Structure 1
Amino acid sequence: MLYKDIHIGHFIKERVEEKEITMERICNFLNRDEEFIEKVYHSKSIDTDLLLRWSKLLEYDFFRLYSSHLILYAPPAAVNKNDTPKSDKIPYFRKNIYTQEIKDFIIGKILSGEMTHNEIIQEYSIPKSTLHRWLQKIRNNNK
């Protein structure tokens, strides 16, 4: 799965086909017509409220695609953590939490020979020790 270039309409259509949900049910749930649904399938991006409704209908967290993109492609901030102003008005999340999908994506790149350890470390800013820990778990599970 590619997290670099996300075409959300494609992922939504894939999930609809996977779940075998009828167009009638989708139209009723979203309160939209078939033409609108087809436009969504061809859209690279959609409104977040609409994406939330699709996530509920299809029982899939489409927002994780974007979170995964941030983890992989947004470099960690080079500021002192104490200098970052915190607000009680919006929630803050730790950036260094890697989902299983992210781990599988990275490990797949290494095992396929597409990227080396050093390329992974440089491209995605994953600490060397973290990468080696993931690979060690794979080796232990294969024994």
Structure 2
Amino acid sequence: MNIKNIHIGSLIRSKVEEHQISIERISRFLELAEEDVEKLYHAKSIDTDILLKWCKLLKFDFFRFYTGHLILYSPQSRIDNAFRQKENTLVFRKSIYTQEVKDFILDKIKVGTMTANDVVERYKIPKTTLYKWMKKI
């Protein structure tokens, strides 16, 4: 799975194969012709309404791939990295890392394409967070 270049159609196809759901059932659920369902498997991106239906049918959150991409590849604003002042109280924004993001990062370290310091520097993940992940493997 490549978090940087998401091909949602192939991810959906693999989940369909994993759950062994017939094309007839999918076609009825999505209210699409079987040929259109096949076209979705080849699509790099699809409409969010249709993606939401896939999530419901397969009981899997496909949006998490995009969330992971945002965490790793979108520039963070100053507000996100620091704390926000709300009235007279401080509110700290904590990043949420999906399991796919954790696996992606840990795999980069495991195969040696990146060091822990490279990960901290490039993706702005706190050292303590990264070392907790590494400790669990």
Which letter maps to 2:47? D
Task: Tell me which residue corresponds to 1:87.
Answer: none
Q: Spell out, residue by residue over 1:70-105, the C-alpha distance to the aligned partner (whole angstroms, 9 max, x if none).
A: 11111321246648xxxxxxxxxx561112332222
| Structure 2 partner of 1:127 | 126
Q: Which residue of 1 aligns with 2:58?
A: 58
Q: Which structure 1 residue ranges, 5 or more long, are not aligned?
A: 84-93, 139-143
1:12: how far off?
Answer: 0.7
Q: Which runs of 5+ in 2 are unaligned?
A: 86-92
Corresponding letter in the other structure for 1:132 = Y
Aligned 8 A contact 1:71 1:95 in 2: no
**What residue is the counterpart of 2:88 in the other structure?**
none
Q: Which structure is higher in strand share?
A: 2
Q: Residue 109 of structure 1 aligns with which residue?
A: 108
**Normalised TM-score (structure 2):** 0.84
| Matched letter for residue 129 of structure 2 | T
TM-score normalised by length of structure 1? 0.81
**Paired residue type of 2:39:** K
Query: Would you say how many aligned residue pairs link Structure 1 and Structure 2?
Result: 129
Please give the secondary structure, in 2, of the residue aligned with 1:32: coil
Runs of 4+ in 1 over 3 A off after TM superposition: 79-83
The residue type equivalent to 1:74 in the other structure is S
Identity of aligned residues (%): 55
CA displacement, residues 94-135 of structure 1 (integer Å, 9 cap, x when unaligned): 561112332222112111212111221222121222212222
- 3-state SS of 2:78 partner: coil
CA distance in 1, matches of 2:15, 2:2: 16
Alignment of 1:71-90 (within 5 A): 71-79=71-79, 82=84
Q: Tell me which amino acid in the other structure corresponds to 2:14.
A: E
Corresponding residue of 1:32:
32
Please say if 1:45 is aligned against 2:45: yes
8 Å CA contact 1:7–1:45 kept in 2: the answer is: yes
